[in-house]
Structure 1
């Protein structure tokens, strides 16, 4: 199900939850070409401030894309932009929840803004931001 601009309401929200696996991190590294040792080298990553491998921040941001493209506004939505702030790392094995909450609606321009947040299994906010989207039009 998709929501058109006229279906959206301020405060409306949707979420997507996923446990980040080692496979997810390696596949994302291969797809993106980002082979930073912080993500793929256990020995090197143990020397960092994180004391082990972490997921790519943008991998987490992809879960926000899932919210936008699959749940709110949903299929047919065009992602216009995304502001992000990476507050804490996502560790392999973390279960994260990406949430989008409608904060602005511009019917004339068919645009909406969503506050975006990713939290881990402990309720710690790991990523914040704002998504600008163009909801699908009525069929």
Structure 2
């Protein structure tokens, strides 16, 4: 990995309250099957149409942890981006999401704690009908500025 530059996300000094990012995602069967296979989750509410049709939902729903996965992906890839880490999350899922639904998720920085190298993000998600499907708050540690290998090795020469 030495010598191969990878772009890191925004560092804490590059972030401002009000910075936001919005992403849309369509929940496909492939996504559900990968999740269910990876976690060995066999909840019939997620995949069995016969069972789900007998519930209040009337059809299979998307596991809430998959929706959180979409949120986590936005943190890891966009805001603040690669090198960041979610340290705490609080999420509510007021409305179920069904297979093949499109969801729009927005994250916004609402607080920055320089001393503890942490930001707080609000998160809200909507379905295509405009109904809220998730909301909450995340505490995230943004990427750290890596030390230069060359700079450290030549420190005595400056």
TM-score, reference length from structure 2 = 0.84
Q: Which has the greater radius of gyration?
A: 2
- The CA distance in 2 between the partners of 1:62 and 1:49, in whole Å, is 25
Partner of 2:102: 95
Partner of 1:80: 87
Secondary structure of the corresponding residue to residue 137 of structure 1: coil
* Greater fraction strand: 1
Partner of 2:36: 29
The question of 1:62 aligning with 2:106 is answered: no
- The CA distance in 1 between the partners of 2:30 and 2:81, in whole Å, is 27
- The CA distance in 1 between the partners of 2:95 and 2:38, in whole Å, is 23
Secondary structure of the corresponding residue to residue 95 of structure 2: coil
Taking only aligned residues, the RMSD between alpha carbons, in angstroms, comes to 1.1
Structure 2: runs of 5 or more not aligned = 1-7, 147-158
Deviation at 1:16, TM superposition (A): 2.0
- Runs of 4+ deviating beyond 6 Å: none
User: What is the 5 A alignment of 1:1-139?
Assistant: 2-139=9-146
Q: How far does the alpha carbon of each residue in 1:20-75 deviate from its partner, in whole angstroms, 9 at most, with x for none?
A: 01221122111112211110111000011110001101101101001100000000
Q: How far does the alpha carbon of each residue in 1:59-110 deviate from its partner, in whole angstroms, 9 at most, with x for none?
A: 0110100110000000000110111101101111111122110011001110
* Residues paired across the two proteins, number: 139
